[in-house]
Amino acid sequence: MKSTRFALGSALILLSTAAFAQSDAQKAFDQLKTLDGVWQGPATTVPPMPEMQGDVMKVSLRTTSLGNALMHEMTSPKRPDDPITMFYLDGDQLMLTHYCDAGNRPRMAGKVSPDGKTVEFDFVDVAGSTQHGHMHHAKFTLIDADHHTEEWTYMMGDQAVNAHFDLQRAK
């Protein structure tokens, strides 16, 4: 009888832990969906990349697929097209897939900070060639309803290129 109660108690703890993790993923996804709209702001990179430094980037975020996905498009005045990133829930995990102009599709898993203002994504895997590098990390910080920052890390071999975007909601 004691072993049955112990097993039942353990199962309830595991289920509540899974529900908590799912709610964290949902909370992070819901936070990102508040960014729905058009944004613009300057780009800075480390190390400096002259082709991007000072560019005013335009970011469009659109909730789609009946609320099950968030599409992120970033354009630059110097680029003919834009990379697309899709955010979505996969079970109890917030994921992103970045459709990169390097010809690959890295996936990253996200988690929300304790204060709920930052959603950070860590590399999981990549489909396609990494010959020209790949996106490896992303971080979104919500400052207020009209201001957020994005940080993206691109790996070129062993060298990381960090890009920072200070974005204001376009009126």
Q: Would you state the structure tokens that stand for residue 2, as one six-digit string? A: 């004691």
Q: What is the CATH number of the domain that holds 123?
A: 2.40.128.20
Tally the domains of the chain.
1
Distance, in Å, from the CA atom of 75 to the CA atom of 126, rounded to the nearest integer, reads 22
pLDDT tens for the chain, residues 1 to 171: 555 554 445 444 444 444 444 489 999 999 999 999 999 999 999 998 887 777 899 999 999 999 999 999 999 888 777 899 999 999 999 999 999 989 999 999 999 999 999 999 999 999 999 999 999 999 999 999 999 999 999 999 999 999 999 999 997
Check: CB of residue 55 under 8 Å from CB of residue 43.
Answer: yes
Q: What six digits make up the tokens of 125?
A: 């895997």
Classify residue 130 by its DSSP letter: -
Q: Are 150 and 167 in contact (CB under 8 A)?
A: yes
Show the domain range for 29: 2-169
Contact 134, 104 (CB under 8 A): yes
- What distances in angstroms separate CA 129 from CA 25, 38, 49, 132, 152, one per listed residue? 29, 31, 23, 8, 19
**Are 149 and 140 in contact, with CB atoms under 8 Å apart?**
yes
77 Ramachandran zone, left/alpha/beta (phi>0; psi -120 to 50): alpha
The residue whose two tokens read 């994504």 is: 121
Distance CA 56, CA 111 (A): 28
Amino acid at 62: R
pLDDT given at position 82: 84
Q: What pLDDT shows up at residue 79?
A: 77
